[in-house]
Structure formats: structure tokens, C-alpha cells
Structure 1
């Protein structure tokens, strides 16, 4: 007889001490969560519902992470693929699995999560859809989440719009005011949840990164000037090797953000190794060096309170799945995360431990 969801979750929780028995569990060094806590920060990972179906992966995530971000189950299109649907089962299962581990909600207002039915609405109907989505979703999870990425990726200069804003249904419905509206409604629906403005590509040291950084500073200032509660600015940290980086310059930007009296979270950290050597050892060493250099620079800023990788094991990464979708027989698979596809630690994990240790020192 097939076990129920509740029985499956109980089995996963109860097996945490035994599933990963072997070399990975026998390591004397601290977990990533323990090392981060020693440095005065929280370490976590994104997590998807399919993680729960793999007991070994579930145990790894529970062991190493001090917080979870719901990967995609709370995005608008996942919750509401049709206008009359509100599909919470996957996110509910993640919360049940997490138990005492806090969970972050991701994300309420993102212009890229736009099912066809939403785009077919009139402007007035889109306005009602955002209000309903925020009120209903935040209300449903009120008191259950640590924080919400209220607005995700508000900027994309490539769309050529005033202020560099990202085009999409919410910008079309409200203009730039959708950001303030989403924050105010989230705060009203759950006064105790932490409110996060989450942005991508701020670490890129090119014209695009510079435009996004400038726009983000102006947006934070505008929200605060208007009395909007903003607790955290999230900076994603998807490292793409085709773009230039200046870790010290980025650290200065993070310090400038911190003068706005907000906490800083690194929310979606991973390293795309697509342009690194094919040799696994050489590639892993370059990925590890990127984690070490980036985190060592960023963690100098006291306002950085959290570091979250976008998934924890290579086989769960969006890069990994994307490569297999495009090339089902690919032999060179991405290795962007601290654990490999067999859930064993890689040099990237050691680099992260070292970076956490340097902040503690």
C-alpha cells in the first residue's frame, strides 16, 4: 500500500540519523549551518517538493541547512496555473517536512511568473489579481514563514523601460507603484513576517550590473521615504563566468546598502561552471575559489545576516536540470553547488566553511 504524504514525511524525519551513514556523516568538521552560526549568520538552501521524495537528499538538506527557501512552489504560476486554482500542496509539504527549521517564501510579485490567463486580463483585472494573490497567499501562510521575497527582480535594463524596470503584468497594471503596493499588502496580511526585496545580477561588474545597483538603491530610498516597511534586501548571487566581477567593489555596494538600515541576505548563491575546464578536479577547484573569494569579501559587511545556496546538491540545480533537458545524453554535467550528484561534499563546501571561519576570526 502506498504511504500517505504524512507517513512519508514522518519517515523522512525519522531517518535523518541513518540515511547518510557513511563517510559524509562521519566528517568531524561542522555542518555548513553550524559553521555559519559560529560566524553570526544563517546558512540555508532552497528546497523543492521533489527533495522530499529522496530520503538521502532530504536528510542532507535537513542536516546542513538552518533555513529553507521554497524553490518554486510559491511562485504565482505554480500556485495559480489557472485563474480558479490555488495549489498549496507542495509548499505545505515542504513546511511540514521542515519542522523547526524556518522557511522563507519565494516570491509574491515577480513579473516573470505570468501564466497565459493572467496576461489575457485587462489592466483593472490584473490589479485585482495582484491584490487577491498577496492577500490570499500571505494570509494563508501567516505565522508560518520566516520571511517573504515580496518583490523579486524588479529591474531588467534589457527591457528598455524608464528606470530600468522589468516589464510584466504587475508593472503594466500599476507602474512602479506595484512594488510599494505589494509590500504594504504583505505587511497588512502578516505583520510579523520579514519583508524582503530580492534582486539579481547586482554582483555583475558591467553596465547591466551597474544599472541594476543604481536602480535598487533608488528604489530602497523611495520605499523608505514613503514609510514602507522594508526589513531586508536580498542579493541573489548567481555567478555566471561570462561576466566580469569585482568582489571588493560589490562588498562596497553591500556596505552602501547597509547604510539604509536594512539587513542583507545572499539569497540564491551558486556558481555556473559552464565555461570552466572539463576536468572535474580543475572545475571543482575553480568553483570553490569563486565561493571563497565572493563570500570572504561579502561577509566583511556586518549587515550580511544570511547566505542561501540555490539548492545544495548538483543534481538538484537548475543548471543540471537545464543541461539534461537540452542534452539528455550529456556527459559533462554542471557542478555548481557544495555537494555532488551523489550527495558527497566537494571543495566548494570546504571553501564555504573557510569563508565562514574567516568572518568568525
Structure 2
């Protein structure tokens, strides 16, 4: 899944690669007010997802140290990254990122323990009995490895997918085939058993939006029902993550968003915005016009989020455009995505200023 040269760098060069940037570049990065500091003044942890690029790019490392207070492992701790084959358990990238964050004084969110999508072929071929074994083994070993060192885990990721036609609008996949809806409960129990002190999060995409291709309330209703079922079963759940990937066909309705957050707060849960970005690939106009549209959307969602006391964490999915997952989605489009607060040279964009302005208010 990852090439040998990158793995060798992670194993052998993390300490060197995570060194500080040169004095001029570091000064330029430090001159930009920290979103992490602005958010902390309001009692919120601001951060971003992080990948192994930070171990080899000193300027990016400096940007994370200055701008964030919490980071989420992007792909390093996903099942397929750790276990591309059943006889492999490779934690090298996760270990290196957790070590980098500890040295930088950043909290870490682990992502993700149980996800029915994007699994290695060997997992998709497991029998139900084998699936149950591997899910619980993976959670026990992975959470146990980092016990006492992480802020939180996305225990179950994106459990909902109405199009699969399952009860409760649950997403199908290897863990669902193995255990049915009970895979969710068992995942939380296993994570709590492996690290009773880490915060346990249910992470979901889409209930925060009005979506053209789904009835507006489908995701909201299904998410709240799932939360209620877990809580009524006595399962420990500390927070719900709303991903907040803003796609072109998603409409942000502040009233609906606020009601969802308050409904979760009424259930004694914190809310994290876990994967915020704005997909501009099909927005009209040149870079300047697209940047303005992206910034407007950041401003809109930040204003709504900051009005809700239950929201304790706000994270973008990566910090700069060069690391965005949308680079892999551009296809034949004659443009590069610009969905994040910082550009490919790590300079602040209008999206950054929109976030900073919202935090200052």
C-alpha cells in the first residue's frame, strides 16, 4: 500500500525529519496568528488531520506546531494501513506520528477502528466468524498499543449508508456481515476495555447537511436513533463527530445543523467537527474567485459552530492544499483543489482569515 522508501524514512528518519524549519521560513509561519491559540481562548481545540509528510517536510511540521492543538491520524491507523495482509501488523507510521505529536505538545485523535468501507481484499473475504475475530483483535491490539497516549478514538466511522438498505440505515460491509448491527456496540466495548481513559467517538458524514440525493432528515434521524440505542444499552459514548466535508451538492442549513448539535448535547455528548474542508473542484471562476467562495463557506459554518457550546473540537481534514485528499479526486479537471486554510506553500488563504475572524468574534 505504501512504498518501501517512505516506510524506511518513517522508521529511520522521523526524529531528524521532524526538525525545525529554517529561521526565515519558521519566522514567516510564526508571524501568522495561530488558529489553535484563537480557538483555545474560546475553550475549543483546533486542529487538522496529519500524515507522514509532516515527518519529512520541516515547514509543514512547523505549521502544525504553530497552528494546531490537536491532530487526527489520517490513514496511518486505519485497518488497511496496519494490516494490508493478515500476517502483517505494521504500526510504524502511527508510532512516528504519535511520537511527533507528543514532542510538539499536540493531542492525538486516532482514526479509525471500525469502518465497513475501504478494507483490504482479504478482509472482504472473511467469514462472519473470522470477521468477528479480526475486528475485536484489531481493536484490542491497536487501542492497547496507544493506551494513555491518545485524546480520543473514532471507534466506528460512517456507520450509516441508507442506500445499502439495511435496518437502521446502517452501512454494509465485513463487520456488519460478521456481527450485524451489534458490531457497533462490540467495537465500543472493546475500545473501552483496551483503554478506559480514552474518549470514544462515533464519527459520521452527512447528517449536518441538507443533501439533494437523500431525504433531508434520513441521516439525522438514523444517527440519533443509533446514539439512543447505544446509550440505552449502557455503552459508553463520549462524543459524536460530524465530518463536515462540504460537497457541491450539500446545502448548509444553520437551523438544522444547530438543532442536531443541540439534540446531541441533550444526550450529554460533546460534538466534534472532525474533517472540515470545502470541495471547490467544480466551483466557477479563477483561483481568486474560488478562494472567496471557499472562505464564505468556512465563515458560515464557523459562525454556526461557535454558537454551540457542545462543540469542543474543530478540525480540518489536512491543513494545507497540497495534502488534501481532493488532489486524488481532481481527475482530468484542469485545476488543483484549494479546499483548506493554507496553500501549497503553507501561506494563509482567505479560508484561514475567515476562520480566524470567526474565532476572534
TM range (shorter): over 0.9
SS in 1 for 2:250: coil
Distance 1:209 1:146, change over 3 A: farther
Corresponding residue SS for 1:150: strand
Post-superposition offset of 1:141? 1.3
Does structure 1 residue 231 correspond to structure 2 residue 243? Answer: no
Q: Check the 8 A contact 1:119/1:169 in 2, yes or no.
A: yes
Residue in structure 2 matched with residue 34 of structure 1 by the alignment: 37
Aligned to 1:69: 72
Structure 2 residue aligned with 1:44: 47
Counterpart-to-counterpart distance in 1, 2:347 and 2:180: 47
Change (3 A) 1:19 1:79: farther
RMSD: 1.8
Mapped to 2, the partners of 1:33 and 1:262 lie a distance apart of 22
For 1:107-146, list aligned pairs within 5 A: 107-146=112-151
Pair 166,10 (structure 1): closer, same or farther in 2 beyond 3 Å = same
Instruction: Identify which of 269, 284, 291 aligns with 1:277.
Output: 284
Q: 1:277 to 1:20 in 2, by over 3 A?
A: same
Shift of 1:113: 3.2
Aligned to 1:250: 257
- Aligned to 1:20, the other structure's residue is in SS state helix
**Aligned position for 1:299:** 306
Q: Which residue of 1 aligns with 2:190?
A: 185
Runs of at least 5 residues in structure 2 that lack an aligned partner in the other structure: 1-7
In structure 1, the partner of 2:224 is: 217
Task: Please state whether the residue corresponding to 1:85 is helix, strand or coil.
Answer: coil
Q: Which of these residues, 321, 326, 337, is aligned with residue 319 of structure 1? A: 326
Assess, with a 3 A threshold, how the Cα gap between structure 1 residues 308 and 19 changes in structure 2: closer, same or farther.
farther
Question: Per-residue displacement from partner, 1:131-161 (whole Å, max 9, x unpaired)?
Answer: 1111111111111211100000000111122
Report SS of the residue matched to 1:15.
coil
- Residue 167 of structure 2 aligns with which residue? 162
CA contact (8 A) 1:138 1:186 kept: yes
14-23 or 246-255: which moved more?
Answer: 14-23
Cα distance in structure 1, aligned partners of 2:14 and 2:51: 14
What is the total number of aligned residue pairs between the two structures? 350
When normalised by structure 2's length, the TM-score is 0.93
Q: Is residue 206–residue 244 contact of structure 2 (8 Å, CA) maintained in 1? A: yes
Corresponding residue for 2:5? none
TM-score for both structures, normalised by structure 1? 0.93
Alpha-carbon distance in structure 2 between the residues aligned to 1:261 and 1:18: 46
The one of 94, 97, 117 aligned to 1:94 = 97
Instruction: Provide structure 1 residue ranges, at least 5 long, that are not aligned to the other structure.
Output: none
1:277 aligned counterpart, secondary structure: coil
Contact 1:199 1:234 in 2 (8 A): yes
Cα 1:14/1:341, change in 2 over 3 Å: closer
Instruction: Confirm or deny: 8 A CA contact 2:115 2:156 kept in the other structure.
Output: yes
Residues 18-74 of structure 1 show CA distances to partners (whole Å, capped at 9, x for unaligned) of 3624544334xx301001001110000100112211111121112111011000111
